[in-house]
Amino acid sequence: MKRKVIIVVLVLALVGISFVVMNVFIGMKQSPPKDVNRKDIPYVRVRSVVYDTILLSIEEQGRLVSNIEVTISSEVSGRIMESGVPLKIGHHFRKGDLLVNIYDRDFSMSLKAQKSNFLNRLASVLPDIKVDYPERFDVWMEFFNSINLEKPLPKLPHIESAKEKIFLASRNILGEYFGIQSAQVRLQKYKIYAPFDGSYVTVNLQEGAVVAPGIAVARIIEKGNLELQVPIESRDIGWFNKGDNVEILGERGERICMGRLVRKAGFVDHGTQSISVFVRIDPRSAAPLYRGQYLTARFSGKKLFNVMEIPRNAVFRTNQVYVVEDGVLHRREIHVVKINNNTLIFRGLKKGALLVVEPMVKVTENMAVQTME
């Protein structure tokens, strides 16, 4: 029994001695020195405000459109006959080519009948003219002999007196003459000729179809007369002026030709909220260009004086930025001159000010920061 007590006492003594020794060693261990100068101050990227002259260059993509597009519509009715120029999309034609030939034989015969009736009426009044107006007989006789049923009526002789006018009007000579003139104009509408060199872009009716007045037969464009329609954000439209020279760039950014800004739209497109400007392409361009093709227009040449360019995301609330003064953030307002896709051009800060040029998150004014250029 005594032996068990002695063993328990020895074990407890050994544990106590170990505990004491451990505390002694822990007390001998030196604590690492505390960095009393270290502060949790964030770094911000800054640039010194330096104003300079910037040559403004704006690149925007646009689509080639034809400067002249015409819809061919018929003013008369009839069957479309062969004209020599096929009514096919993409088919080319020359100025003066017969594009649409509408059957006109029945109307042509009716016009000849009108002329024949007019000759008959004129022949019936020639004896009266010879008796009542002998000095005018040779004039009217010459007019009568010059009428050809296959050709348009010649010009009506000049009427010299009111008495002669009353005589002709009472015999309905004037009414029939101008009625035939109207019919001759209408006969010309059965044939539609090309007003310029061009091609078909849409065709609605083919040869053999019957067309009615007001129906569109086809749509044509003028060859080589192209414009680049470029949508511009409404806020930037003031930078573009009529007459500006424009570089036209291809798909790889290479210059393919020059152009000139010829007009600006006077309205905002409701879908894109942009305003279109139109650049006339130099017809001497060596590169083949086609309607509907997308190209890039580079507008340049305007100089902005006493300005600076910074990343667009460094500006918040439209026109506010942060500057660092004596290691502390301060909010300042700037005057925005031009907004680009990724950058912004401004003025309005003191020269030499340290401008923060990166977006700031969870910061407050008068917050201490460290700067890095």
The DSSP secondary-structure symbol of 218 reads E
Residue 368 belongs to a domain with what CATH number?
A: 2.40.420.20
Q: Are 184 and 125 part of one and the same domain?
A: yes
DSSP secondary structure, 236-303, as one string = GGGG--TT-EEEEE-TTS-EEEEEEEEEE-SS--TTT-EEEEEEEEPTT-SS---TT-EEEEEEEEEE
The encoded tokens of residue 283 equal: 């017809």
Burial of 71 (0-12, 13-18, 19+ CB in 10 A): exposed
Examine the fold and report which residue of 273, 302, 331 is the final residue of a domain before the chain moves on: 302
Report pLDDT for 112: 93
Is 22 a member of any domain? no
Q: Are 232 and 358 part of one and the same domain?
A: no
Provide block-wise average pLDDT over 10 residues at a time, the chain (373 residues): 61 63 59 50 90 88 91 94 90 93 94 94 91 91 93 91 90 92 94 93 92 93 89 86 89 87 90 90 78 89 89 92 92 91 91 91 85 82
Tell me the H-state helices in the chain: 2-28, 105-132, 134-146, 162-170, 173-188
Look at the chain and report how many structural domains it folds into: 4
Report pLDDT for 38: 40
Q: Are 339 and 360 part of one and the same domain?
A: yes
* Domain housing 79: 70-96+195-220
Residue 79 belongs to a domain with what CATH number?
A: 2.40.50.100
Report pLDDT for 56: 84
Examine the fold and report which residue of 287, 302, 317 is the final residue of a domain before the chain moves on: 302
Is 216 a member of any domain? yes
Q: Which of 250, 254, 232, 253 is closest to 241 using CA atoms?
A: 232
Residue 63 phi, psi dihedral angles, 5° rounding: -120, 135
The encoded tokens of residue 28 equal: 């001998």
Q: What is the number of H-type helices and E-type strands within the chain?
A: 5, 21
Is 367 a member of any domain? yes
Report pLDDT for 80: 94
Q: Are 295 and 357 part of one and the same domain?
A: no
